[in-house]
Amino acid sequence: QVQLVESGGGLVQAGGSLRLSCAASGRTFSRYAMGWFRQAPGKEREFVAAISWIGGSTYYADSVKGRFTISRDIAKNTLYLLMNSLNPEDTAVYYCADGTIWVGVRLNEYDYWGQGTQVTVSS
């Protein structure tokens, strides 16, 4: 059983930064990759970024490339998302997820999900 718990969301002004964390438990020896998704009000959940768990390769959605950085601490079994230059379009609930392949950008390529953390960017 894999459990994922996100933290670090909040309210920030446009141009500001936030760092999200996702503490993972379970499946420590066979994890392929992890990713971040987000869902804005009235919109579908969308891919944000992914990282291969052992190799550290990263992949980003075009909308966040150059502003967001995904990373992981294997020893702590924790995933991070550093978000810089935030704008109101980044407002969403952010979810971390445990991937089944590399590189997964579709929801069905992830089999465990956290409960989400709200990020609100004011203009």
Residue 120: beta bridge partners? 11
Question: How does pLDDT run along the chain (123 residues), one tens digit per residue?
Answer: 889 999 999 999 999 999 999 999 876 667 889 999 999 999 999 999 999 999 999 999 999 999 999 999 999 999 999 999 999 999 999 999 999 888 899 999 999 999 999 999 999
Cβ neighbours around 67 below 10 Å, total: 15
CB-based contact 81:94 (threshold 8 Å):
yes
Please choose, from the candidates 39, 6, 2, the residue with its C-alpha nearest in 3D space to the C-alpha of residue 115.
6
CA dist., res. 107 & res. 21, Å (int): 20
What is the model's pLDDT at position 29? 61
CA dist., res. 38 & res. 60, Å (int): 13
